[in-house]
Structure 1
């Protein structure tokens, strides 16, 4: 599995984002390209420690989430139309160029943390190490860039 901490993979993601434009349409799902760019910022903000979700989950759900945790960063692609947490659902219109620039900035900040060992706890899945964070963030971005055909 590729990682956003790998220089070539980082550049691949940036190049794919640059191929998007305000008229890009999804192959599945309902988000506009601007909404997708905003949505992709959220998990990176959680990893960067700039967004904390106020989601509380019970013991049983935490136990179930531990079972699904490896799916977040393994080699298997995510299926289309997966659900997402409420805080990551973007329904209001977004400006393409502004959101694209923000996403690239956030990806760069994340990628520069490749030597970090002190990551915030994920609100659903608990702790991830650096390798897992890098793979998970790549997998999420790859999923949505594929959604938009780049």
Structure 2
């Protein structure tokens, strides 16, 4: 799996985001493009320590552990997977500012490429730096494919 911490992958993701415009339509799902751009900011902010997510109860934590590897393995995520409630974006968003914020966060995350340890994910626990990079790429790739870029 590619990693957002790798320069080639980082460049690819930025180029794909730049291809989006206000009228880009989703090939699946309910989000509009500006909502997707906002949604994609949550995992990056979480990884960077800018967003605090409530830790799940022990039963949910066990459930999360059962699919932890799917967060960073080579298998593409299926269309229509449910969005965790804290990451749902249901209100209207402005395309331009959301695009700028996402690009800024992708840049900020990539700048951490030499970071040796990351805070544990509140739901999934510890990830290696490589896994954090893979997970961020996989999420962005999923939604960029959703919008055909």
Q: TM-score, normalised by structure 1?
A: 0.96
Matched, 1:72 2:71: yes
The answer for the alignment partner of 1:32 in structure 2 is 32
Other-structure match for 1:107: 106
Unaligned runs of 5+ in 2: none
What is the CA deviation profile of residues 98-123 of structure 1, one whole-angstrom value per residue up to 9, with x for unaligned ones? 10000000000001101112312212
8 A contact 1:46–1:120 mirrored in 2? no
In structure 1, stretches of 5+ residues that fail to align are none
1:52 aligns to 2:64 (yes or no): no
Q: Is the 8 A contact 1:46 1:52 kept in 2?
A: yes
**TM-score, normalised relative to structure 2:** 0.97
**Cα deviation digits, residues 59-85 of structure 1 (max 9, x gap):** 232222212100000000000111121
For 1:131-142, list aligned pairs within 5 A: 131-142=130-141
**1:41 equivalent in structure 2:** 41
- Count, aligned residues: 149
| Equivalent-residue separation in structure 2 for 1:37 and 1:101 (angstroms) | 9
Per-residue CA deviation, residues 23-44 of structure 1 (Å, 9 max, x unaligned), is 0000000100000000000000
Residue in 2 aligned with 1:97?
A: 96
Runs (4+) of structure 1 exceeding 3 A deviation are none
Q: Quote the Cα distance in structure 2 between the aligned partners of 1:117 and 1:63.
A: 26
